[in-house]
């Protein structure tokens, strides 16, 4: 009996993740829909395409409808986005929005930021309309289900006011936990315990079950800065058309060895300067599009796959490692064991590369997403 109890304790310990006390929480929810002719008709009727800004009236009227509903529901931080760019949300004490050709980065702190603002160009027809809701306050994870319920109710009312059909709007709930896996070596001894319970299960336990069809994915992104010491010991011929080929080949080998050692079967190494985005896709296709690389992922697929995308003529600022959790990685409705495997694999990799743990950061961001229709 003692032996059985000991095994259970070890199993439960493996599901607990100890992260630094200065880790950062983010939660944001995107409600989005295609900008169709039907939507234009519902909101403004005919659009004068000969006008200098034919879609200005549409954007203004739709944002006005949305912000009235949002304020009614007591939501403090929301944005209306219609610029055909991918929305990215990151933590920062200073609130700002930065646009690239294909991405809009929203930097904010949940502790003190709140805005109501629209981002659109009345002369251009966006491919989608998006409402971005940013969680504010303390203990975001504790209150995440309540926030989700509030946003769902607001978006449902927006849909009804516009006159949409059920299912026309898609709701995407994103939650991140970001931390330096070597925070302890830098003197931060405090820790917080997580198990990373699957979102719908966590919401049910918090009294707000997710009804209807939905999909969930969990994955981790680890950022490895291109420190000069990574290149030491590697023969780099700058007269060669692919001077960094040998370096990336060595890094790829170390990465794959670390993943295999810690039983991580689904992962990707991105070192081509592109920003990875992860999406639910049963075909698991990787699509390169401008400054983005879209990684399709099927959490129901058990067969392992480790993908490496790099270019031997380009020295990137950061190497990004993406680790995907499949259904088999969920034990007792938690992803704690998976997160620990990712941390251990990353530590094995950086130790092989003689990383300066007390100086350089290795930032891991654990992503949990749930998608449903409204």
Phi, psi (degrees; rounded to nearest 5) at 357? -65, -35
Q: Quote the CA–CA distance of 22 and 112 in Å, as a whole number.
A: 17
pLDDT band at 278, cuts 50/70/90?
A: very high
| Block residue for tokens 């690389």 | 293
Q: What is the pLDDT of residues 219-272, one digit of tens each?
A: 999 999 998 888 887 888 889 999 999 999 999 999 999 999 999 999 999 999
Pick 213 or 3 by higher pLDDT. Answer: 213
CA pair distance 236, 245, nearest whole angstrom: 8
By three-state DSSP, how is residue 264 classified? coil
d(CA 308, CA 40): 42
> What's the mean pLDDT in 107-127?
91
Beta bridge partners, 105, equal 88, 98
pLDDT in tens, 88-113: 999 888 889 999 999 999 999 898 76
Q: State how far the Cα of 325 lies from the Cα of 333, in Å rounded to an integer.
A: 12
Query: Given a cut of 70, is residue 14 above it in pLDDT?
Result: no
Rounded Cα distance between 250 and 145, Å, is 44
The answer, yes or no, to whether residue 7 has pLDDT greater than 70, is no
In eight-state DSSP terms, residue 85 is -
Q: How far apart are CA 357 and CA 70, in angstroms?
A: 45
Q: Is the pLDDT of residue 201 over 50?
A: yes
Residue 280 has a pLDDT of 87
pLDDT at 297 over 90: no
Cβ-based neighbours of 76, under 8 Å, separated by 6 or more: 114, 136
Sign of the Cα torsion 130, 220, 325, 142 reads negative
Q: 144-162 and 56-72 helices cross at what angle (nearest 10)?
A: 130
Burial 30-64 (b: 16+ CB within 10 A, else e): bbbbebeeebbebbbeebeeeeeebbebbbbebbe
Instruction: Point out the least confidently predicted range of 253-262, 293-302, 335-344.
Output: 293-302
Q: What is the pLDDT of residue 232?
A: 81
Q: What is the pTM of this model?
A: 0.91
Least confident of 217-221, 309-313, 319-323, 327-331: 327-331
pLDDT band at 6 (very low <50, low <70, confident <90, very high): low
Q: What is the largest CA-CA distance in the chain?
A: 81
Give the residue ranges of DSSP H helices in 36-194: 37-43, 56-72, 144-162
Q: At what angle do helices 245-261 and 336-352 cross, to 10 degrees?
A: 140
Residue 107: exposed, middle, or buried by beta-carbon count in 10 A (0-12, 13-18, 19+)? middle
In this prediction, residue 3 carries a pLDDT of 56
Residue 8 confidence (pLDDT) above 80: no
Helix 2-14 × helix 336-352 angle, to 10°:
70
Whether the predicted pLDDT of 216 surpasses 50: yes
Q: Is the dihedral of CA 223, 226, 228, 230 positive or negative?
A: positive
Q: What is the mean pLDDT of residues 74-85?
A: 95
Say if residue 374's pLDDT is above 60: yes
């Amino acid at each position: 009996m003692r032996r059985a109890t000991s095994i259970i304790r070890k199993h439960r310990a493996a599901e607990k993740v100890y992260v630094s006390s200065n880790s950062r929480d983010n939660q944001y929810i995107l409600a989005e829909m295609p900008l169709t002719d039907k939507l234009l008709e519902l909101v403004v009727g005919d659009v004068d395409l000969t006008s200098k800004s034919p879609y200005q009236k549409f954007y203004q009227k739709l944002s006005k409808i949305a912000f009235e509903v949002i304020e009614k529901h007591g939501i403090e931080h929301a944005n209306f986005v219609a610029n055909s760019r991918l929305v990215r949300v990151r933590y920062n004490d200073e609130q700002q929005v930065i646009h690239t050709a294909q991405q809009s980065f929203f930097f904010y702190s949940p502790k003190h930021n709140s805005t109501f603002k629209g981002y659109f160009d009345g002369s251009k027809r966006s491919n989608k309309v998006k409402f971005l809701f940013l969680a504010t306050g303390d203990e975001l994870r504790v209150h995440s289900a309540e926030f989700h319920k509030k946003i769902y109710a607001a978006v449902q009312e927006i849909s009804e006011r516009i006159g949409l059909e059920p299912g026309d709007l898609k709701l995407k709930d994103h939650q991140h936990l970001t931390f330096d896996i070597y925070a302890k070596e830098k003197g931060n001894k405090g820790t917080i315990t997580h198990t990373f319970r699957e979102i719908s299960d966590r919401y049910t336990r918090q009294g707000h079950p997710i009804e209807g069809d939905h999909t969930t994915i969990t994955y981790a992104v680890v950022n490895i800065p291109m420190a000069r010491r990574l290149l030491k010991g590697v023969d780099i011929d700058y007269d060669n058309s692919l001077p960094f080929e040998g370096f990336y080949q060595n890094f790829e080998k170390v990465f794959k060895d670390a993943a295999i050692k810690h039983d991580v079967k689904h992962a990707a190494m991105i070192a081509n300067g592109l920003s990875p985005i992860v999406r639910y896709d049963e075909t698991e296709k990787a699509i390169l599009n401008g400054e983005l690389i879209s990684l399709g992922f099927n959490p129901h697929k058990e067969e392992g796959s480790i993908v490496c995308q790099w270019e031997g003529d380009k020295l990137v600022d950061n190497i990004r490692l993406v680790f995907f959790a499949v259904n088999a990685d969920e034990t007792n409705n938690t992803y704690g064991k998976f997160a620990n495997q990712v941390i251990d694999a990353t530590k094995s990799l950086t130790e092989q590369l003689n990383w300066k743990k007390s100086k350089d950061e290795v930032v891991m961001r654990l992503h949990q997403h749930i998608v449903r229709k409204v």
